Chains A and B, each alone.
Chain A
Amino acid sequence: MRIFVCIKQVPDSAQIRVHPVTNTIMRQGVPTIINPYDLFGLEEALRLRDRFGGVVTVLTMGPPMASESLRKALGYGADRGLLLTDRFFAGSDTLATSYALSKLIEKAAEDHGMPHIVFCGKQTIDGDTAQVGPGIAQRLGLSQLTYVSAIDEIDPDKDTITVRRRADHGVQVLTSRLPAMITMLEGSNEIRRGTQADVLRAAQAKITQWNAAGVGIEDLSLCGLRGSPTVVKRVFAPSARSEKAVMIPAGDGGSATAAALIDAIFERQPALEEDLISEAGGY
Chain B
Amino acid sequence: MNKIVFDAIVVGAGPAGNSAAYTMANAGLNVLQIERGEYSGSKNVQGAILYSDALEQMIPDFREEAPLERHIVEQRIWMMDDRGHTGMHHRSDDYNEDLPNRYTIIRAQFDKWFNRQVRDAGATVLYETTVTGLIRDPRGQVIGVQTDREGEGFYANVVVLAEGVNGLVGQRSGLRSELRPEDVALAVKEMHFLPQETIESRFNITGDEGVVIEAMGTITEGMIGTAFLYTNRESISIGIGCLVSELSRVGKGSPYQLLDRLKAHPSIRGLLEGSEMKEYAAHLIPEGGYRAIPELVGDGWVCVGDAGHFVNAVHREGSNLAMTTGRLAAETIISLNKRGQACTKKALGAYRQRLEDSFVMKDMKKYKDVPRMLEKQGSTIMDTYPRLMNGAAQTWFRVDGRDKKAKENEIVKAAWRVRGLGLLGDAVKLARAWR
A interface, CB within 8 angstroms of B: 15, 17, 19-22, 26, 28-29, 31, 75, 193-200, 203-204
Contact = CB atoms under 8 A, between A and B. Distances in A.
Contacts of B149: 193-196, 198-199
Contacts of B106: 29
B233 A28 contact: yes
B19 interface: no
Contact of A196 (B39, B147, B234): B147
Interface stretch (B123-131, B205-213, B283-291, B419-427): B123-131
Contacts of B152: 196
27 contacts: A17-B193, A17-B278, A19-B195, A20-B276, A22-B195, A28-B109, A28-B234, A29-B108, A31-B108, A194-B149, A195-B151, A196-B1, A196-B129, A196-B147, A196-B150, A196-B153, A197-B1, A197-B151, A199-B126, A199-B128, A199-B129, A199-B149, A200-B126, A200-B154, A203-B124, A203-B125, A204-B124
B357 to A, nearest CB: 35
Interface string B103-139: 0001011000000000000001111110000000000
A196 B276 contact: no
Contacts of B153: 196
Given A28-B234, A31-B39, A196-B151, 20 more contacts: A17-B193, A28-B109, A28-B233, A29-B106, A29-B108, A29-B109, A31-B38, A31-B42, A75-B128, A193-B150, A195-B149, A195-B151, A196-B147, A196-B152, A196-B154, A199-B126, A200-B1, A200-B32, A200-B124, A200-B154
A193 B151 CA distance: 12
Q: Is the interface of B mostly helix, strand, loop or mixed?
A: loop
Interface of B: 1, 32, 38-39, 42, 106, 108-109, 124-129, 147, 149-154, 193, 195, 197, 233-234, 274, 276, 278
Contact of B195 (A21, A31, A75): A21
Nearest to B279: A15
A197 B2 CA distance: 9
A194 B127 CA distance: 11
Nearest to B45: A29
A22 B196 CA distance: 11
Contact of B276 (A17, A198, A204): A17
Contacts of B154: 196, 200
Contacts of A31: 38-39, 42, 108
A203 B195 CA distance: 38
A15 B278 contact: yes
Contact of A26 (B127, B129, B193): B193
Contacts of A29: 106, 108-109
Contacts of A195: 149-151
A68 B370 CA distance: 46
A22 B32 CA distance: 44
Contacts of A19: 195
A12 B388 CA distance: 49
Contacts of A75: 127-128
Contacts of A203: 124-126
A20 B199 CA distance: 13
Nearest to B150: A195
A200 B3 CA distance: 12
A203 B115 CA distance: 13
A225 B39 CA distance: 32
A26 B278 CA distance: 12
A197 B151 CA distance: 7
B249 to A, nearest CB: 35
B420 to A, nearest CB: 50
Contacts of A28: 109, 233-234
Nearest to A17: B193
